[in-house]
């Protein structure tokens, strides 16, 4: 997706592999990989240390451009250990506001590549959600994603409004939940419940009424999660 990294991105990736590589703890990494069902190898750097090391990587570097963000994200996704993808998710979250609507194609690639909830969820909420909020012309893309065959795109579409609070388009959220109410994938059913539960913080009566009207179609997991804070 990126042939040659811009200078700042190249510097970030070079520093990142040096700093994170030096902090690797193989024994701890094995335990972290086991916790994630051995889907990915881990360096063994826990979250607080990863955050501190990330600051060290970025110290003294300038503000990234959209191309820097794309190059670093793609570069991190090419590295085997999961902490590199976590770094990219954190950096994208920090700078999502500078991304144009065109960045959604990169977000789609990230969501559908090396996919698991630990990267998909921050991308959904803090990158895709921010892009759609800033660029409303991307809403039709969410309408497409929620009907996609890839369950991670479906989950992303359902979760992208998770941080919107009072600005949530409840009609769109409810349509998505109804459309995928019978989805066979656990992570989609879980996302439906999570999104509804989060919206219940803003409008509990609307969520209660929605669940009552569609309880026969919703999975028990989705219902249980949706009503956790309001019954």
Q: Which residues of the chain have pLDDT under 70?
A: 1-3, 231
CA dihedral of 146, 82, 32, 155, whole degrees rounded to 10: 0
Q: Could you read off the pLDDT of 29-70 as tens digits, one per residue?
A: 999 999 999 999 999 999 999 999 999 999 999 999 999 999
121 and 231 assigned to the same domain: yes
Last residue of a domain, one of 98, 123, 147: 98
Tell me, yes or no, whether 192 lies in a domain: yes
On whether the pTM is more than 0.85, the answer is yes
pLDDT of residue 177: 98
144 and 86 assigned to the same domain: no
Tell me, yes or no, whether 104 lies in a domain: no
Tell me, yes or no, whether 214 lies in a domain: yes
125 and 221 assigned to the same domain: yes
CATH number at residue 52: 1.25.10.90
Tell me, yes or no, whether 225 lies in a domain: yes
33 and 128 assigned to the same domain: no
230 and 184 assigned to the same domain: yes
Tell me, yes or no, whether 107 lies in a domain: no
Last residue of a domain, one of 98, 122, 154: 98
pLDDT of residue 93: 97
Phi, psi of 225 (to 5 degrees): -65, -40
136 and 90 assigned to the same domain: no
pLDDT of residue 231: 67
Contacts of 116 (CB under 8 A, 6+ apart): 36, 39, 40
Structural domain that includes position 65 = 1-98
138 and 228 assigned to the same domain: yes
Tell me, yes or no, whether 109 lies in a domain: no
Last residue of a domain, one of 69, 98, 127: 98
CB atoms within 10 A of CB 231: 11
222 and 141 assigned to the same domain: yes
135 and 220 assigned to the same domain: yes
pLDDT of residue 5: 82
126 and 71 assigned to the same domain: no
150 and 46 assigned to the same domain: no
Tokens for 180, please give them: 């995928």
Tell me, yes or no, whether 9 lies in a domain: yes
Please give the tally of structural domains in the chain. Answer: 2
129 and 85 assigned to the same domain: no
């Amino acid at each position: 997706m990126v042939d040659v990294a811009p200078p700042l991105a190249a510097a970030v990736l070079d520093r990142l592999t040096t700093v994170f590589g030096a902090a690797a703890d193989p024994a701890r990494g094995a335990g972290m990989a086991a916790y994630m069902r051995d889907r990915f190898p881990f360096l063994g750097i826990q979250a607080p240390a990863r955050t501190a090391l990330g600051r060290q990587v970025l110290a003294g570097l300038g503000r990234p451009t959209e191309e820097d963000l794309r190059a670093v994200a793609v570069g991190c996704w090419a590295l085997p250990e999961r902490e590199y993808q976590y770094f990219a998710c954190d950096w994208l979250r920090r700078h999502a506001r500078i991304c144009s609507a065109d960045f959604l194609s990169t977000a789609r690639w990230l969501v559908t590549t090396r996919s698991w909830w630990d990267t998909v969820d921050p991308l959904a909420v803090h990158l895709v959600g921010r892009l759609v909020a800033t660029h409303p012309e991307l809403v039709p893309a969410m309408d497409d994603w929620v009907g996609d065959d890839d369950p991670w795109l479906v989950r992303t579409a359902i979760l992208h409004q998770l941080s919107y609070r009072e600005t949530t388009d409840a009609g769109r959220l409810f349509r998505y939940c109804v459309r995928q109410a019978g989805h066979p994938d656990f992570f989609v059913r879980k996302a439906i419940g999570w999104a509804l539960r989060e919206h219940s913080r803003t409008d509990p009566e609307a969520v209660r009424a929605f669940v009552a009207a569609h309880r026969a179609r919703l999975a028990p997991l989705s219902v249980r999660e949706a009503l956790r804070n309001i019954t």
